[in-house]
Structure 1
Amino acid sequence: MAEGSGRRPGAAMLLALLALLPGCAALAPKPTGIEQRLATLPRQGLALQGPVTIRWNRHLVPWIEARSDHDLAYALGLVHGHLRGGQVALLRMVARGRLSEMAGPLARDYDHALRILDFARAAPEIERRWPPETRAFMEAFLAGLNHSVATGPRPPEFGLLGLRPEPFTLTDLLAIGRLAGTDVNWLSYFSLLAERGKPGFAAAWRRTLEAGANIPPTGEASLPGMLNNFARAGSNAVAVAPSHSASGAALLASDPHLGLSLPNLWLLAGMRSPSFHAVGMMIPGLPIIGLGRNPDLAWGGTNLRAASSDLFDISRLPPEGFTESEAVIRQRFWFPARRRVRVSPEGPVLTDASVVPSRPNEPIALRWAGQEPADEITALLRAARARDGAAFRASFGDFAVSPQNMLYADRGGRIGRLTAAILPSRQGFPAEGPVLDATDPAATGPWRRLRRAGDLPALEDPPEGVLASANENPTSWVKDPPPIGYFFSDGDRVARLRALLLAKPRLGPEDLAALQRDTVAPKAAVLAAGLLARIEALPGGPPLPDFLAPLRGWDGDYAAGSRAALVFEAILARLLPGLLPEGRGARGPETGWNFITTFLLRDLDALPAERRATLLRRAVEEAAPAAPPGRVWGDVHRLRAAHWLVNLPVLGRAFVLGDMPVGGSRETPMKTGHGLVTGPHEVSFGSMARFVADLSDPDHNWFTLFGGQDGWLGSAAFADQIPLWREGRSIRLPLRPATVAAEFPLVTELRP
């Protein structure tokens, strides 16, 4: 989020001054062992009802045993605060529009946009509607989190960012939850706002709809650029029926695709209390398991890519229907700023923020399902207690954001998927652009009649015995679905997952773990073969035959050691700009994989023969120096391990732990996202956590994070799972108490 601000005058001087301030231990963190970290967990003054035992493994994964649900929630809050207190504090600053309190005036305009979005807008009504058990669990979790914040050690990065320990509120936690539910379509919407009205927009919109692609932000100094790590949600999830399982029980695997900065956006935990017995991945600052396992059921999911938002032109709405308030934005090193925040009948007025692209006299509002008083907390607390697929499906009736494809497998052998979302009851999508007329009842009416999980596609026990989800268009698995979204992931990834699942008659956990590390993109092989055929058919023969040789018979594998992947991407990066519409840059909307697979060969063949030949020859000749002999994909495709403070200008490089060669690409099962490849580049988005479960045994659950459990800079558990992630190894999180006692040998006893 600081990348765009790094281009502004004064940023370098400001951050250089920060380095001189006291308390900047983040710049040179002291190595801290596991025992040292456990010794600083607060143990005095705990508001517990009885004793709690926390067992830890050597990766600082906690397994909490409590005699009451209250004490489990309290201990979870304590652990979240201890391991990830700095991260939760940062998430609050983003969710509440308080970045200027860390970065000063450089972040003021972003804060204004975040105050307009107001991730906490629905919080009061959500709290009012909570069932008593949800309220009690949340309040206990909050108490534990705040006790850790108040009595535990101050995170090293607080000094650098000018932060002080500050109690959290339930509203803060709900705002963090809604931030995590950011609509992936915003990236496209805001980029399209900048293009509307320009020559060629109508044609570009038609191509966008045909490709079905999420459009990346066209620049970093923008609201979508700032929200990138939160909105770029991908993921894979698969389920296998007992008929295809080597163990005779159902299997499930799930691997989320999000930002690859450290600490990870997930936290591993195990837990047992009267109502809960589960292991899984949790969002820091929230007491819910997003994907995991209890004795009877395993679950995971992928982002649905549903259009849970609409943009409305509100220029013709009567002004008396608007409410207006003033946001006071406190700024580090400067005076407070005051900004207007307006809310229309169709949502907050986004274009009042200068970082949102707009046209003169056309105010635009955002209507988002995240502004509805839905209840993801209760949904996921109930899901964690579900004992079969039917109970799991019933948990999601009030789940809104971010819309999810949820997959499950239960001990009875059933596998299934459901659509967890709240969406307007649209009849279709506009053909002329993404901005709707707020005075048109046909545009606003769908928001008065919302569809919930029970009204949306679901599937159980498919005849093939396998399920796969990879952010694909729902039309690939259900006939005649209701209108759900514009932009979905390319079908390449889900097709590859299904092919791997069906390639063997019986699958085991090791097969699903291998699937999560697969680096093949079948459509890349098709495109490479198509390009090679056209190059070899050029008059006078192909240029540089030896350079092109690796592409002959290439299967689309982006392994780190692949020569063909590098040659293909080098040619693609030099060819595609010549095919883009005039005025489109090499980072524009038509450089995404959906656009490439949909239009590359078609656009190439539509050119006059002479022009096509010129582009192809030039692309090959310019690509050759970028991929010299001996160089392979991993030489340029680098995975950076870095703390999120790497985004700071000047000082950011101090938070890079290193980079390493990595396989994968935009739409391989092991996603490692990138744009056009003009040289060495760093991957900052992709496969960042893994989970595999075999329902034949309650102990057969394996997890890995890119990074580590502990967010404390210098901790031995800050990045200790990166070798596991690279080598395909994992950490077992068992459910049997005896196994937990044996494999989680470090014990912390908490008492009231």
Structure 2
Amino acid sequence: MAEQPMPALRRLIAALAPLVPALRALAPRPVTAADRLAVFPTRGLPLSRPVDIRWNDHQIPFVEAETDGDLAVALGLVHAHLRGGQIALLKRVAQGRLAEIAGPVARDLDHILRILDFRHAADTVIDRMPQDVRDFAEAFITGVNAYHALERAPPPEFALLGLRHEPYTLRDMWTIGRLAGTDINWLAYFGLLRERGTPGFAATWARMLKAGANATASFSMDEGQEALATLLTATGRSGSNCVAVAASRSASGGALIASDPHLALSLPNLWVVAGMRSPGYHMAGLMVPGLPFVAVGRSLHIAWGGTNMRSASSDLYDISGLPPGEIETRETVIRTRFWRPARRKVRRSRFGPIVSDAKLARSRPGDTIALRWIGHEPTDEITALLRASRATTPEDFRAAFAGFGVSAQNMLVATAAGRIGQVMAATLPLRTRFPPPDPVLDAADPDSHWQGLVDAPGLPWATDPPDGVLATANNRPTDAAVPVGFFFSPDERVRRLYALLGAKPQLTPDDLAALQADTLSLDAGVLTRHLVQVIRDAGLAGGHAAFVDRLAGWDGDYAADSAGPPAFEALLFHLVPRIHGASSADAMPRLMAQWNAIIAFLPDDLAALAPERRRQVLAEAVGLAAADAAAFPAWGDMHRMRVAHILGRLPVLGRFFSFGDYPTGGSRETPMKTAHGLVRGRHDASYGSMARHVADLSDPDASWVTLFGGQDGWLGSANAADQIPLWRQGRSIRLPLRPETVAREFPTVLRLEAVRR
């Protein structure tokens, strides 16, 4: 008998029904701030007393609680409300469970993430946590889980990605914190393993050490390593600028601070803004979704920020000679969406996990390479940062970082008493030889082993400098008896910051906001003048006079309306590969395409060429660059800021999550960092300032913040990207601390009812 059409139609509808919520994520319904707050649960919550959460128009909350425990619960509720989907994704990244979302293509990523084992020391640290810190952290987790238990609907992207909420645990929280503390040196290590031992590698390694190569892209990487690099730079605090100004240099008479952390540019932002007041905490600033502390912000007594120290917190060891009995082996099952599970081997030694087992960190045949990382030691960043936020002096602030491990930070602090200080918040290994002659150490050599660990109280620090200013920008430390690292940013950002701080005898918060938007590259200006002279000396200026004049008239300012950067960047794009005998940027060692190496070696490498070869290289590069640059009157025509959700990286579907792009200023090492590689045409900035914070300690209400994007991670929310205009214009949102100001500027109030009496 022929099948009846109605049952067949019903079966088709039933088969397609699960796709409907997924399709909604591709065209989410616009949601106002009022709509979003209307779904925030206010009853049946695990609180001992009522809590008020005040909200401003940007959906930034200020939590007012009568107990510290209730504050923590309310913060957990807020994080789950604003970034529940993001926390779920961070948890799966930290656990190596991306294949559950993306299918078989993510198995290699999951394998290396599981080998890196972000959870390794979790149980030990949790057992050792001071009771007050553990109580606060567990109350935060209670808030996250309570929100999801009462949630009316999961985030729109859950159906698309095949996600569902799982209980959030203290172990999950700690693991996300470890993910955020990733050692960015790994990206260089994994890229160089396969090149180690090849002809010329020793010279390349020596150049790398001299240049202080940017560890995020030092050697050639395949597609999988590129994906890992993107993942780790999107979740780890790998960059940043921070400055502090003492009261003696402040127009208001109060100490000042300004911070702008750098991350891969995508939405939702890795920072969420919150203010809070309880008996033990009165502060406001930037928090990482899923973590209970303010990482950058201010209290009534101090303001703080920091930059990645770029410390060598890891070492690679050749453990080929270890007896098999010293290697622990287990099998891990990678559950895979749309496919059957995969089984992979995970091995560990006393020198750490064996990373050479992973395809994305594979070395030469026969090598067995282990990774020893400070992040596998039982350090406690949650306790340190909660303690630091309650400090009142630079000395208290420094003492709070005892036991802080990863990622190592140069922390700056400004106090209400007008003082400033700089603290090395880190745990560093003591080494006999540093830097090593080879990036892989011999485990059989006792002198290669760590000789102990030293943390913040044992590391150098600075306080109250005579000139009244401090600045840090991932630059090489100038005073550290303990070896710190070898992959640092060039010092041009920190030189520019100090120049701007020294330009006026008395500084204001507006001056610091202008500093964060500065687009001058000192070294680009110097290199441009050198190249113009070399081109003229070679007799090549006449044939491309307009192009050379365009270069000669540029001072290194990467303002969006500047005409010089397109000419300079197009010249570098064609010149740098030719100096190294390569046909294109993709065909040359990635190290030599980095800004560190360009400013360190390009003039000498060009001069070292035979005269005829040098003239040929210059002629070809100038001719091609002139043609490329002619299409771009200004830097903003070439250099763009793309506003897109992290799902915008998905193949095919990614276009649904792109919200436009616009011209932007800045470059690789300008204070307003909007990084890029060698470019000759229109391109997107890939990495830069994801948030800005400025505070004046003379006034409890003088604190301001801006996010790249917005507060709310909910697709379709009016507050998902509403701060982009502020970010572009250098404007900000005030984060006051006085209760009466908070009441006026955060007018929407949610009263959370208690269920425990």
Q: Shorter-normalised TM-score: what interval?
A: over 0.9
- Map of 1:456 onto structure 2: 459
- Map of 1:360 onto structure 2: 365
* Correspondences of 1:52-451 after superposition (within 5 Å): 52-152=51-151, 153-215=153-215, 216=217, 218-219=220-221, 220-222=223-225, 223-231=228-236, 233-446=238-451, 449-451=452-454
Structure-2 separation of matches of 1:420 and 1:228? 20
C-alpha offsets along residues 454-500 of structure 1, whole Å, 9 cap, x if unaligned?
A: 1212100111111010000002xx2x532100110011100000000
Partner-residue secondary structure (3-state), 1:85: helix
Structure-1 separation of matches of 2:38 and 2:292? 23
C-alpha offsets along residues 80-117 of structure 1, whole Å, 9 cap, x if unaligned?
A: 00100000000011000111111111111211111111
Aligned-partner residue type, residue 688 of structure 1: M
Partner-residue secondary structure (3-state), 1:325: strand
- Whether the aligned pair in 2 keeps the contact of 1:543 and 1:620 (CA below 8 Å) is no
Measure how far apart 1:21 and its partner are. Answer: 6.2
Structure-1 separation of matches of 2:134 and 2:236? 28
- Whether the aligned pair in 2 keeps the contact of 1:586 and 1:676 (CA below 8 Å) is no
Aligned-partner residue type, residue 681 of structure 1: H
Measure how far apart 1:183 and its partner are. Answer: 0.5
**Kindly tell me: are residues 365 and 629 of structure 1, through their superposed partners in 2, closer, same or farther at Cα, counting changes over 3 Å?**
closer
Partner-residue secondary structure (3-state), 2:346: strand
Q: 2:669 aligns with which of 660, 667, 670?
A: 667
Measure how far apart 1:432 and its partner are. Answer: 2.7
Structure-1 separation of matches of 2:588 and 2:67? 57
C-alpha offsets along residues 658-678 of structure 1, whole Å, 9 cap, x if unaligned?
A: 000000000000000000012
Q: TM-score, normalization: structure 1?
A: 0.95
Structure-2 separation of matches of 1:202 and 1:47? 60
- Whether the aligned pair in 2 keeps the contact of 1:529 and 1:553 (CA below 8 Å) is no
**Kindly tell me: are residues 582 and 618 of structure 1, through their superposed partners in 2, closer, same or farther at Cα, counting changes over 3 Å?**
closer
Partner-residue secondary structure (3-state), 2:213: coil
Partner-residue secondary structure (3-state), 1:287: coil
Structure-2 separation of matches of 1:355 and 1:470? 30
Using the TM superposition, name which of 535-544 and 187-196 deviates more: 535-544
- Whether the aligned pair in 2 keeps the contact of 1:474 and 1:481 (CA below 8 Å) is no
Measure how far apart 1:221 and its partner are. Answer: 1.8
- Whether the aligned pair in 1 keeps the contact of 2:566 and 2:680 (CA below 8 Å) is no
C-alpha offsets along residues 698-728 of structure 1, whole Å, 9 cap, x if unaligned?
A: 0000000000000000001000000000001
**Kindly tell me: are residues 387 and 525 of structure 1, through their superposed partners in 2, closer, same or farther at Cα, counting changes over 3 Å?**
same
**Kindly tell me: are residues 257 and 79 of structure 1, through their superposed partners in 2, closer, same or farther at Cα, counting changes over 3 Å?**
same
- Map of 1:9 onto structure 2: none
- Map of 2:24 onto structure 1: 25
- Map of 1:617 onto structure 2: 619
Measure how far apart 1:553 and its partner are. Answer: 4.3
**Kindly tell me: are residues 540 and 488 of structure 1, through their superposed partners in 2, closer, same or farther at Cα, counting changes over 3 Å?**
closer
- Whether the aligned pair in 2 keeps the contact of 1:150 and 1:167 (CA below 8 Å) is no
C-alpha offsets along residues 279-333 of structure 1, whole Å, 9 cap, x if unaligned?
A: 0100000001111000010000000000000111110011111112111111112
C-alpha offsets along residues 17-47 of structure 1, whole Å, 9 cap, x if unaligned?
A: 9995643321011000011000111223200
* Correspondences of 1:654-733 after superposition (within 5 Å): 654-733=656-735
- Whether the aligned pair in 2 keeps the contact of 1:98 and 1:329 (CA below 8 Å) is yes
Partner-residue secondary structure (3-state), 2:289: coil
- Whether the aligned pair in 1 keeps the contact of 2:355 and 2:362 (CA below 8 Å) is no
- Whether the aligned pair in 2 keeps the contact of 1:24 and 1:157 (CA below 8 Å) is no
Gaps of 5+ in 2: 1-15
Using the TM superposition, name which of 332-341 and 221-230 deviates more: 221-230
C-alpha offsets along residues 607-658 of structure 1, whole Å, 9 cap, x if unaligned?
A: 1111111111111100112111662111110000000001111101110000
Structure-2 separation of matches of 1:548 and 1:540? 9
Aligned-partner residue type, residue 66 of structure 2: R
Measure how far apart 1:539 and its partner are. Answer: 3.5
Partner-residue secondary structure (3-state), 1:168: coil
* Correspondences of 1:636-651 after superposition (within 5 Å): 636-651=638-653
Measure how far apart 1:551 and its partner are. Answer: 2.0
- Whether the aligned pair in 2 keeps the contact of 1:699 and 1:734 (CA below 8 Å) is yes
Structure-1 separation of matches of 2:190 and 2:665? 31
**Kindly tell me: are residues 102 and 463 of structure 1, through their superposed partners in 2, closer, same or farther at Cα, counting changes over 3 Å?**
same
- Whether the aligned pair in 2 keeps the contact of 1:18 and 1:160 (CA below 8 Å) is no
**Kindly tell me: are residues 209 and 343 of structure 1, through their superposed partners in 2, closer, same or farther at Cα, counting changes over 3 Å?**
same
Aligned-partner residue type, residue 511 of structure 2: D
Structure-1 separation of matches of 2:658 and 2:49? 43
Partner-residue secondary structure (3-state), 1:547: helix
- Map of 2:577 onto structure 1: 577
**Kindly tell me: are residues 640 and 724 of structure 1, through their superposed partners in 2, closer, same or farther at Cα, counting changes over 3 Å?**
same
Are 1:521 and 2:521 an aligned pair?
yes
C-alpha offsets along residues 335-366 of structure 1, whole Å, 9 cap, x if unaligned?
A: 22211111101000111112212111111111
Structure-1 separation of matches of 2:74 and 2:140? 7
Aligned-partner residue type, residue 635 of structure 1: D
- Map of 2:469 onto structure 1: 466
Measure how far apart 1:427 and its partner are. Answer: 3.5
Structure-2 separation of matches of 1:511 and 1:539? 44
- Whether the aligned pair in 2 keeps the contact of 1:427 and 1:483 (CA below 8 Å) is no
Partner-residue secondary structure (3-state), 1:195: coil
- Whether the aligned pair in 1 keeps the contact of 2:233 and 2:263 (CA below 8 Å) is no
- Whether the aligned pair in 2 keeps the contact of 1:100 and 1:108 (CA below 8 Å) is yes
- Whether the aligned pair in 1 keeps the contact of 2:432 and 2:447 (CA below 8 Å) is no
**Number of matched pairs:** 731
C-alpha offsets along residues 58-92 of structure 1, whole Å, 9 cap, x if unaligned?
A: 00000000000110000000000010000000001
- Whether the aligned pair in 1 keeps the contact of 2:432 and 2:448 (CA below 8 Å) is no
Structure-2 separation of matches of 1:607 and 1:19? 64
- Map of 1:40 onto structure 2: 39
C-alpha offsets along residues 194-232 of structure 1, whole Å, 9 cap, x if unaligned?
A: 211222111110110110112406333224354342357
Structure-1 separation of matches of 2:141 and 2:549? 60
Aligned-partner residue type, residue 746 of structure 1: T
Partner-residue secondary structure (3-state), 1:359: coil
Measure how far apart 1:586 and its partner are. Answer: 5.0
Q: TM-score, normalization: structure 2?
A: 0.95
Structure-2 separation of matches of 1:224 and 1:63? 35
Measure how far apart 1:413 and its partner are. Answer: 1.2
**Kindly tell me: are residues 740 and 587 of structure 1, through their superposed partners in 2, closer, same or farther at Cα, counting changes over 3 Å?**
farther
C-alpha offsets along residues 489-538 of structure 1, whole Å, 9 cap, x if unaligned?
A: 01110000000000101100000000000000010000000000000111
- Map of 2:50 onto structure 1: 51
**Kindly tell me: are residues 630 and 282 of structure 1, through their superposed partners in 2, closer, same or farther at Cα, counting changes over 3 Å?**
closer
Structure-2 separation of matches of 1:18 and 1:633? 48
C-alpha offsets along residues 228-264 of structure 1, whole Å, 9 cap, x if unaligned?
A: 4235711000001111110111110000011110010
Structure-2 separation of matches of 1:459 and 1:598? 29
Aligned-partner residue type, residue 507 of structure 1: L
Measure how far apart 1:588 and its partner are. Answer: 1.2
- Whether the aligned pair in 1 keeps the contact of 2:695 and 2:704 (CA below 8 Å) is yes
Aligned-partner residue type, residue 416 of structure 1: G
Measure how far apart 1:191 and its partner are. Answer: 1.1
Aligned-partner residue type, residue 472 of structure 2: S
